[in-house]
Structure 1
Amino acid sequence: MARLLLVAFVLLIIQLFLQRLAMCLMSFSSRLFHLLLSRCNRVVRRRLRTPKDLLLVDSTTISVGKSRLPWALFHGQRAGIKLHVALDATTEQPVQVIETIGTVHDEPIGEKLQTRIISL
């Protein structure tokens, strides 16, 4: 009886390991495909006809008095934070939100928002 339980336990562990390995391989292959696709020129990408997801990126600055957010000085006696939002156009759902202080420029954050892994 104990040997049967031990064999069942070992088989369960092996099954869980194989499932986790399959998930890791899928994630790796997806990232590899995305990397290879990003290295292709426009002609090759158009020939592959991969689906293109439209990602909307916007930022909004919220300013308040200096005493409310002393760590986020914005302009003079004002303090502020900036919310950078990436929105999926097909589902109209936010994909990612990054919060920064109000003086941070949009370009480096926008690049972070647009680099998301496409799940296949």
Structure 2
Amino acid sequence: MQSQANKQKRNGKLPKAFIVDSTTISLNKTRYPWAEFRTTKSGVKVHLRLAYIGKGDAYPDSAVITNASVHDVNQLEIVVDERLATYIFDRGYLDFELFDKFSHDGFFFISRIRKNSLVKVREEYEVPSGGTIFQDQMVVLGGKNGYLTDPYRLVEVMDTQENLLRIITNQFDLPSEEIGQMYRARWEIELFFKQLKQHTTIKKFFSRNEDGLKNQVYLALISQLLTYLVKLETQSVLSSLTIQRYLFASLWEDSELGETRIRGKPTGSD
């Protein structure tokens, strides 16, 4: 894996970064009996791959919708399908054998391990003084007659709320500070889910049919992607949410006025 990363770096190609996570949409048990979740309610789960460009700059790249009872890790291999890209996900996707498979198949990942994960240190790396990095090590995970992984890198970093994060990755060529920053970028998908649920048309579903409900969620994701494309086309510095609001408002106004607002130029009438 190190050789693949170094080769990629020599070719001057920056690896793509994707953030992977899921969000659950609760549903009425009587109206949606097909959406298995809990004994008292139904639900669907959106498993999303978010393409990460930079802070506040991301767009939906791939999505799978399942019943809410489906475990996240069971969908991970479906959304991880582009080699030499880096996938960032939380410890809900922890699967040592799957991590090894990703490494062998040419996928990079950045994730977290649980506090009770067994760690065997193979090598210590020097960490920058005065920073937020506490440990940088080569390790293997597992043991005590359990599964023992390939060598990985374990970076311990303090987050903004002074919590210690134990980040595991197969990226050995990046500075430890960059590993920490990339994992913290995972917050972007939480913001995306919040915007998706609060500002698109999935608060109320128009169909009780499985295909109809899924189509409505996919349309909501498409609207988010189109908003991002508008942001790129206009070279706007506004947030996607602000652009989306301007787009809704411009449905009943002069389209040039809406475009001017999105571009961030004075309209002369505001």
- With the length of structure 1 as denominator, give the TM-score of the two structures: 0.58
Q: Does 1:77 align with 2:25?
A: no
Partner of 2:76: 110
Q: Does 1:47 align with 2:6?
A: yes
Give 5+ residue unaligned stretches, structure 2: 85-270
Shift of 1:98: 0.4
SS of residue matched to 1:85: strand
- The one-letter code matched in structure 1 to 2:67 is I
Partner of 1:63: 26
Note the 1:30-45 alignment, pairs <5 A.
Answer: 41-42=1-2, 44-45=3-4
SS of residue matched to 1:97: strand
Q: Give the number of the structure whose residues are more often helix, by fraction.
A: 1
Shift of 1:46: 2.9
- Let me know the Cα RMSD of the aligned residues: 1.7
| Count of residue pairs the alignment pairs up | 77
Give 5+ residue unaligned stretches, structure 1: 1-40
Matches of 2:82 and 2:4, distance apart in 1: 18
Moved over 2 A (4+): none
Q: Sequence identity, in percent?
A: 30
- Give CA deviations for 1:5-34 in whole Å, capped at 9, x if unaligned: xxxxxxxxxxxxxxxxxxxxxxxxxxxxxx
Matches of 2:68 and 2:79, distance apart in 1: 17
Higher Rg of the two aligned structures: 1
